[in-house]
Amino acid sequence: MKKLTFLVLIMTLIFGACVSTLNISDDLSAAELIQRAQEASDRNQYNIALKYYQALYDRNETLDLNITAEYEIAFIHYKQGDYNQARDKFETLLEHYKTRDRELLPRHFERLAVIVLDRIDDKEAERAARFALFRRTPPPQSYPPEEPPPPEELPPPEEIVWIDARDDVVDIDMDSESDGSLESHLAVEDAPIIDQTEPPPPLPAQYTIRPGDVLSVIAARPWVYNNHLMWPRLYEANKHKLPDPDNPDFLRPGIILDIPPIRGEHRQGLWSEDISYPVFE
């Protein structure tokens, strides 16, 4: 056990040293910085992803790239469980949308920031409820050494079987499905239990665009991909349906988008707000 703990400690120190000495080339474009940050985030190497997004922010002066970097940095803090840091970053981002330059900013990051802030509120409320429950839980009852705890009372048996060895007479409380024999009774007792619960509905395979929708918000919905970064999958599968195939931000309400499976999941039918879909994982 000590050897395993020592090995984990060494690997942690090595990984931390690699992150601290990460050398990001000045020749990388904004698209390359974003790609490498996303690849690191997909491998759960969040500290490396933060460095790439910070480099994106420091090396560019365009509003849309700065907003992209700010949102992704805040979202990584959220995935790491650092809700206070994430909240501060998201609230700072939303302040940009209160300035005169708000019309120049991509609108979907504003909507996503509000959605994640609501999730942070829910998670912090769950934490507070668990902590309050822990505080209210009384300590286990203890007994003095001279008074041991009383013995547990066994529940009464549901039925009693009497066997008379002299004439092999068996008296058993039979139910209506038994024909009176011991074999029939045991067969009824051993019958398999049929699960009566209905399976969850399949994930939707299509979605109708509504006013205000953008591809990143659609991809972030739990029954789509539960990840806003997966919007390029929706774009590639549906750009031939868009009014301007070269502009993924130009969506027209009423267009039915296809939601292609990305992990072999079963999808079927058009999304309906009357159906409770499972969460894509």
Return the pLDDT at 169: 45
pLDDT digits (tens, 9 = 90+) for 116-138: 888 888 888 888 887 777 666 66
Return the pLDDT at 122: 87
Long-range pairs for 74-78: beta carbons < 8 A, 24 or more residues apart? 74/113, 74/116, 75/116, 76/41, 76/46, 76/49, 76/50, 78/116, 78/119, 78/120
Angle at 52 between CA 50 and CA 55, to 5 degrees: 110
DSSP 6-74: HHHHHHHHHHHHHHHT----TT--HHHHHHHHHHHHHTT-HHHHHHHHHHHHHH---HHHHHHHHHHHH
Residue 12 has pLDDT above 70, yes or no: no
Q: How many CB atoms lie within 10 A of CB 164?
A: 9
Residue 192 has pLDDT above 70, yes or no: no
The pair of structure tokens assigned to 38 is 């996303």
pLDDT digits (tens, 9 = 90+) for 197-213: 678 889 999 999 988 78
DSSP 188-251: HHTPPPPP-PPPPPPBPSEEE--TT--HHHHHHSTTTTS-GGGHHHHHHHHGGGSSSTT-TT--
> Which residue ranges does the chain devote to CATH 1.25.40.10?
24-131
Residue 190 has pLDDT above 60, yes or no: no
DSSP letter, residue 101: G
Average pLDDT over residues 185-200: 61
Options 2.60.40.420, 3.40.50.2000, 1.25.40.10, 2.40.40.20; CATH of 24-131 = 1.25.40.10
Residue 11 has pLDDT above 60, yes or no: no
The pair of structure tokens assigned to 78 is 């959220």
Report how far residue 175's alpha carbon sits from residue 172's, in angstroms, rounded to the nearest whole number: 9
Q: Mean pLDDT across the chain, nearest whole number?
A: 77
Return the pLDDT at 20: 57
Residue of higher predicted confidence among 234 and 29: 234
pLDDT digits (tens, 9 = 90+) for 230-270: 888 999 999 999 988 888 888 888 899 999 998 889 999 99
Residue 221 has pLDDT above 70, yes or no: yes
